[in-house]
Chain A
Amino acid sequence: MTTPMVSLKEVAKNYPAPGGGVVQVLKSISLEVEAGKSIAIVGPSGSGKSTLLNIMGLLDVPSSGSVLLEGQNLERLGEGDKTAIRNRKIGFVFQQHHLLPQCNVLENILVPTLVAVSRAPGEAESRARDLLNQVGLSARLEYRPAQLSGGEQLRVAVVRAMINQPSLLLADEPTGSLDRAGAENLGDLLVRMNRQQGMTLIVVTHSLPLAMRMDRVYSLVDGVLIPGNT
C-alpha cells in the first residue's frame, strides 16, 4: 500500500467566540489523499474550507489531531522546517493571487525559486518560460501584475505555485474571480498539471463544475467532511 500524500487524523480547529466559549470550525476531520490524485472540497461560505486547506498547507495548525505529509507527522516540526517543506513540496494558488507589484510576470514566478537550494537559476527560468507558454502567457513575460487581467493574474499565480514542482498543489477558490470561460480554462490547466505532472491537487471551491472534474469531491458542512460522488 502506498503512503498517502496527505493524511488528516481527527483534525479539529476551534476559535474563541466573541462572547466567550469557542467556535468549532472543524470537527474531528480525518482524510487521506493519495499521491497524484485530485480532490475538491466544497461547502458554503464560512464552513471552514480555507481553514482546512491552510492546515494542509502548513499555514495553520489544528487545535487537535495531526497532519501527515507523505507519512511524516508535521506536528512537532519547527517553523523553519515547515517553511522548507512549503517551498519544496507545496504549491499555493490564492484567491487574491498575491502577485508582487514590483516584479514582472516572469519574476513573480521565479520568486519561490530564490530560496530553493536545489535548483539552478537558469533551469528555473527555463521551466518558468515553459510553464508560461503552457498557460498562454509567453507574450506577457515583462508585464507587471497591474497590467494583467484577473484571469491572467490567476494563471501567473498557478504557474508560480508550480515552479518548484511541488508534490502537492493547494488552490483556494481559484476561480472565484473568473467568468465561466475563464473558470473552465483554469480547470483545464489544473487538471492538466495534475495529470501530466502527477502532483496531488486539492481545490477548495464553490464551483461545482470545477469540483466535478476532480477525482473526488468532499463537502464540508458544519465542520464535518462528508465524502461526495466521484
Chain B
Amino acid sequence: MTRVQLSLRSTLYYAGAHLSVLAGIALAVAVLVGALLVGDSVSYTLRQAALLRLGGAHYALDTRGRYFPETLAGRLQAETRVAVAPALLLRGVAIGPGERQVNNVQIIGVEERFPGLAGQQGIRLNEGDVALNVRLAAELGVKQGDPIFIRFSKPSLLPLDAPLSSRKGDDTTRGAFTVGAIWSDDQSGRFSLSANQVMPCNAFVSLASLQKLAGLDGKVNVLLAGDAVSEERLDRSLKAVWGLGDMGLRWRNSDDISINQLESDRVILDPGVGRVAAGVGESAGALTYLVNSISREGETNSTPYSFVVALSPAPGFGLVPREMKDDEILVNRWLADELALIPGASVRMAYYEFAPGGRFAETSRVFRVRGIVAMESLLRERELAPRFPGLTDAGRCADWDIGMPLDPEKVEDKPNEAYWDAYRDTPKAFVTLRAGQAMWANRFGDLTGIRIKGGAEARAAMEDALRNNLEPQEIGFAFMPVRRIALKAAGEALDFGQLFLGMSGFVMIAALMLTALLFSFSIQQRSQETGLLLAVGFTPGRIRWLLIQEGLWVAVVGGLLGAGLGLLYTRTLIWALGHVWQGAVASTAIQFHAELATVIKGLAAGIAMALLALVVATWRQTARPARELLAQVDADLRAALDSTVPRNIKPGVLLPYLGLAVAAVLVVLGVFKPLQSPAELFFAAGGLLLVSVLGVIRLNFIRLAEGRGRLTLASLGRRNLGRRRTRSLTIVGLLAIGCFMVFAVSSMQENIEKGATERSSGTGGFALFGESSIPVLADLTSDAGWKKLRLDQEDALVGVTLVPIKVRDGDDASCLNLNRAQSPRLLGVNPEAFKVRGAFAAPWSLLQEPLVDGCVPGLAGDLNTAQWGLQKKVGDILLFRDERGTPFKVKLVGALPMRVSVFQGSILIPLSAFSGRYPSESGSRIFLADIPKGGEKGARECLARRLGKFGLDIMPAVARLREFHAVESTYMTMFLVLGGLGLLLGSAGMAIVVLRAIRERRAEFALLKAVGYSDKQVRRMIAAEHRLMLGLGLAAGGISSLAAMWPNLHEPGVSLPVTTMLAFLAGITLFHLFWIGISIRWASRVSTLSALRNQ
C-alpha cells in the first residue's frame, strides 16, 4: 500500500466525519464561484447591451448642432469601401394617445443604410411612419397602427445662442406619425451613442420625413461607419472626399465677381477656417455686427441698430484702406447726413458685448471719422452682407427677431426704418478688422466672411487649402471609435464579481473557519491513529502530509460540488438582482453567463483557501508527542494546561491592550479633529478595536483555563471556554466580525429625506429639479425670459426663482450607469447663483478662480461621482474635446461634499468655460427651483404645464436624491442580507460546536449527574458557557462597530440604526438560544450510564 492509497482509504473510511468538512468547503467555493460568475454575467450583459445599441457600427461621427449633407456618407463609403450610413439625430418628446408625453426621446431619422449598420436587415420606414423601440412603445402605451406625435426644437444652422441668431428656435416643431413598427433590441431598438446600459427611448422615422419636418433638407448630423481600420483612416478619408458644403461653407460673389467671399451656414466662421484662409494668398477677413447706436460724441442724437462691417485694411477687398487706423471709422453718406458728421468728427458706437451665460452688456467705443462713403459705392458691400435669419429677411425693423435684446422704441425709429426700406442691410459704417474683432469677437468666432480676389482658380485654391489644411476635428468632425469605447466602458464597469465577493466575503470566511474547525475535530477524533503512526516511525511531516492529502481529496470533491452550487448561487443572486435588488443594477435585466475560466479560477482559489485552512487545522494536531496522542489528550486541553497568562509584561499580553489604546486614540483624534475622510479612519479604529477586544477575550479565556476564582456552577461551565479556547475564540470571533460588519454597514443607511431641505444637503435646498429634452433658450433668470414664456402670469410661481444650467451630454457617471463613464456629462453652472444661496455647501469660489495650468476647474457632482463613477480624486485631470474637436482638460478642484446630490453623475464647470468650449449648446436644460414654502406642488404643476413643450421632467429635488440613493441603499441591503447569512453560518457553526462539545463531554455531564447534579443544573451550566460565548461575540462586535459608525452618525440624515441593530441582536440571540436549547436537550437525553461506560 502506498501513502496515497492510505490517504484515500482513510478518506473513504472517515467519509462520514469528512462530510461536514466537505459541506463547508462546498459552501465556501459556491460563494466564491457564485460571486465571480455574477461579475461574468454583469459584464456579459453590459457587453451585449453595448453591442446591441451599436449594431454593426464601429465608428460614429456625431456633430451635434452642426448639420452637413447626407451625400457625404456615399462619398466616404466609396473612398473607404466601408459601409457608412447617415442619420439625423435629434432630441425631443413623444406624445401618445391621451396626451401621454414621454420626454428625453431620441428621434432618429434613418434611411435604408442605417438598419444594416445598426444590426437590422430589410426594414424600410415609409414616410409618415415611425418605428418605436420597445421601451418607448411601452411608456406611451401604443401598438402598431396607433398615431403619435413627435416634438422637437427646430434645428437652426446658426447656433441659437449666437448674438444675432433668431430666437424662433424657442418654438418647437411637432409632427404626426403612425406607429409602423416596434423594434426590439436586436432590430436596433436600443440604438444609442452613449455608453449606458439603460435602454433609451427611441423613435425612428425616415430620414427624408425628419429632414423635412426639421427644415434640414438633405442634411444630417451623424454618420455611422462599419469596421474600418481606424478612426484616423476615416478622418483621412473624410479629408479626401469632403468639400465646402460639408464644411458648412459657401461662396458669395460680388456682382463684378472680382471678390469672392467665403461664408458659413452658421454665419460666423469657425476659427480653423480663418486660420487656413489666412495662409492662402491674399485674403481679407470681414466681421459684420449689428451695433446698438452710433452718435456724434457728446450729442444725444443717434441712429439705432446699424450694421457695421469690420474689414481687413487691404486694398481691393473693400472700402477700408491700408492706412486706416483702428480708432478710425468710415461712415456712409446717409449716416453722415443723419448725424451731421464730417471727417475728423468723433462718433460713439454703442454695442453689446456677449457676456458668459448668454447675457448682453452694452459698451461703447469712440472713433474718429476718417471719411464718408457714397451710397453708390456700397453696392458690393450690400451684396456681401451676411444673411442673418430673422434679421436680414425681415420686411421692417420692427419684425427683427434676434437673440440680442432690442429696445422696442428704438427699433421703430422712423429714419432707421426708412433706411431699411431703402438700403436694407447695407452697412452704415466700416472699421478695421482688428477694431471690430476687439469689440465683437465672441465664443462662436471672429469672422463672418473671408474675401479673396480672382475667379474660379482662386476659389479652387482656397477650397484645396481648406480640404488639405483644415483638420476635420477643428469644425467638430471627428469619428469616434464608438464600439471600442462602448466595450471599454463595459469592460471597466463596476466589477460586480468583486462587489459580491466583498459582500459574500464574510460568508466565505465563516465557511472556511468552520471548515478548519470541523477538520480539526475530525483529526482530534483520530489522535490515537496519529499517535500510532508516530509511534511506528512516521515523522510529523509525513503524517501531516497524509492528513493534508485526505483534506485535498475532500477539498477537491467539495470544491467540485461547490462549483456546481456556485452556478445555482449565481442564478439566485441574478434572480435577486432582477426581483429584489433591482436598484443595484438600475433595473437592468442581467443575463446569466458563466465563463469556464472563471469557474476554474474560483474553484482553484476556493480549494487553495480550503487547503490552507486545513493545513492550519492539521499543524497543531500533528506537532504533539505520540504519548499524548495515544492517550487521547487533545490539543486544546494540552494548550490549556500548558499556557498561562504571563504575570510580567510580555508582547502577547501587551499587544491587545496596546491595540485598545491605539484604537481609542484614533477615535478621540477623529472626534476632535475633523479629517478629510473620517469614515476610513473610524472603520480602521473599529477594526483595530475588534481585533484588540478579541485579543483581550483570548487572554481571559487563558485565565479561565487557569481556573482562578471561586468555583461555582456557572464558573464550572465558563471554564470550558478556556479549555477549548481555539474553538471558543473561533465562534466568538465569527459572531463578533459578523456583528461588526452588519452594524457598521447598517449605520451607513441614510435617511435621504432627513435634512433634504437644508442648503447644505444634496438638494442644495432647492425644492424642484427639472430637466428638459429641448433646451430652453429664454433666460429664466430675467424678467424678459419669464415674460417670454409667460411664467410671470402664473400666481403659483410668485416668489419662485430658477437657476438654469447648460448641459453637454456625455456619459452618465452616476451609480445608475453600470458602465464606466468615459466622457462624463458636463454642466455649465453660474457658481455665483449657488454661492449667494450657500447651496450644497460646496467650494463654488474654486470654479471662479482661473487655474494657472490652463485647465478648466471642475467640481464632481457629489462624492459618489468622484469616488465610484469616475474613480478620480481632487487634483485629477479629465480630458474632454470641445465642439470643434480641440482637447481640453478639466481639473477636479473638488466635489459637492455629500454622498448623493442632484448633480450625481456630472461634472460642474463654470458657465463661461462651458460656453467657450460648446458655443453651440444653446439654452439650458436643467433647472433648479427655489419655491416659497408650501407652494411646491402648485409651482411644480405650473412649471410642468408651461414648459411641457420642452419635454420638462420636473420632480421634487429629494425624489431625484431618492433615485440615486436607491442604488446605494440596495447595496447596503445586499450587504446586510449576505452579512446576515454569514452570521447565520456563524450561528450554525456555534450549533455544531455546541453539539460537538456536548458529545465530547458526555462523560463529564454523566459524572456530574452521578454525583448529584440534576438535569436542570447541568443544562444551566452548559447554557451559562454558551450564553457567555454569544454575549462576548455580540458585545465585541457591537462595541467595535460603534467606533466605526461614529462618522456616519454625524452625517445629515443618519442616525443610530437602533431598530436594525436590536432586530439583528434579537434574531441572532434567539437563533443561538434555539441551537443551545436543542444541543442541551440532546445532551440531556444521553444516558448517564452509557456515557460513563464509554469514556
Partner-B contacts on A (CB < 8 A): 50, 54, 57, 59-60, 79-80, 83-84, 86-88, 91-92, 94, 96, 98, 100-104, 107, 110-112, 114-116, 121, 144, 146-147, 160-161, 164
Contacts and interface: CB of A to CB of B under 8 A. Distances in A.
Contacts of B1008: 111
Interface stretch (B290-298, B498-506, B925-933, B1011-1019): B1011-1019
B719 A54 contact: no
Contacts of B633: 146
Contact of B1014 (A80, A121, A147, A164): A80
B1010 interface: yes
A102 B707 contact: yes
Nearest to A98: B1007
B1017 A115 contact: yes
Contacts of B640: 101-102
Interface residues of B, number: 33
B641 A147 contact: yes
Contacts of A146: 633, 637, 641
B1089 A102 contact: no
Contacts of B641: 101, 144, 146-147
B1003 A101 contact: no
A114 B713 contact: yes
Given A54-B1089, A92-B1010, A102 B1015 contact: no
Contact of A98 (B711, B1089, B1092): B1092
B1026 to A, nearest CB: 15
A101 B635 CA distance: 13
Interface string B1074-1095: 0000000000000011001101
Interface of B: 633, 637, 640-641, 705, 707, 710-713, 716, 719-720, 722-723, 1003-1004, 1006-1015, 1017, 1088-1089, 1092-1093, 1095
Please indicate which of the listed interface residues B640, B711, B712, B1093 has the most CB atoms of chain A within 10 Å of its own CB: B711
A198 B1017 CA distance: 30
Contacts of B1013: 83, 87, 115
Contacts of B1017: 115
Nearest to A87: B1012
Given A110-B711, A146-B637, A103 B1012 contact: no
22 contacts: A50-B1093, A54-B1089, A59-B1010, A79-B1014, A83-B1013, A86-B1011, A87-B1013, A92-B1011, A94-B1007, A94-B1010, A96-B1003, A98-B1004, A98-B1006, A101-B637, A101-B723, A102-B707, A102-B716, A103-B707, A112-B1012, A114-B712, A115-B1013, A115-B1017
Please indicate which of the listed interface residues A80, A88, A96 has the most CB atoms of chain B within 10 Å of its own CB: A96
Contacts of A96: 1003, 1092, 1095
Contacts of B723: 101-102
Given A83-B1015, A100-B1004, 17 more contacts: A59-B1010, A83-B1013, A86-B1010, A86-B1011, A87-B1013, A94-B1007, A98-B1003, A98-B1095, A102-B707, A102-B719, A102-B723, A103-B711, A103-B716, A115-B1013, A115-B1014, A121-B710, A164-B1012
A87 B713 CA distance: 15
A57 B1010 contact: yes
Nearest to A160: B1011
A144 to B, nearest CB: 6
B722 A102 contact: yes
Contacts of B710: 121
Nearest to B1012: A87
B712 A79 contact: no
Please indicate which of the listed interface residues A50, A98, A103 has the most CB atoms of chain B within 10 Å of its own CB: A98
Contact of A84 (B705, B716, B1007, B1012): B1012
Nearest to A58: B1010
A116 B1003 CA distance: 21
Contacts of B1088: 59
A227 B1012 CA distance: 31
A80 B1019 CA distance: 14
A164 B1013 CA distance: 13
A104 B1014 CA distance: 23
Contacts of A102: 640, 705, 707, 716, 719-720, 722-723
Contacts of A59: 1010, 1088-1089, 1092
Contacts of B716: 100, 102-103, 111, 114
A57 B1088 CA distance: 12
Contact of A116 (B719, B1012, B1014): B1012
Contacts of B1006: 98
A191 to B, nearest CB: 22
B485 to A, nearest CB: 68
A121 B716 CA distance: 15
A99 to B, nearest CB: 9
B1012 A83 contact: yes
Contacts of A54: 1089
A103 B723 CA distance: 10
Nearest to A88: B1012
Contact of B711 (A84, A86, A91, A114): A114
A79 B719 CA distance: 27
B479 to A, nearest CB: 79
